[in-house]
Structure 1
């Protein structure tokens, strides 16, 4: 039985173990977002996202800003 809550990514619906109480150990902590990127994500979604979706949204942000 998992120690933390199993939730679904708001974007892709993939199930993952949320470790909000141990953020540095959570799967989403591998994605380093700037303040502007965090704001962009929060304008699109209210809940938790998996690391893969965070990477995709980060890339979308870069493209929208002409950074890639």
Structure 2
């Protein structure tokens, strides 16, 4: 029997997060800080529209790819 552990993250519009996918092969945008702009439903899947702090460009991220910023 395989059990999976999931972290609980409270996401809110206007809050800042870091891109940190659990999959080590997902390297695009890893380590970048972003702010959530909106939540979008696409094909029965929740996507999150973010703006990156370093370039002010917007992108769509998966829910599981965002983690709270710990300093």
Provide the TM-score with structure 1 as the length reference: 0.27
Query: Would you tell me which structure has more helix in proportion to its own residues?
Result: 1
TM-score, normalised by the number of residues in structure 2: 0.26
Higher strand share: 2
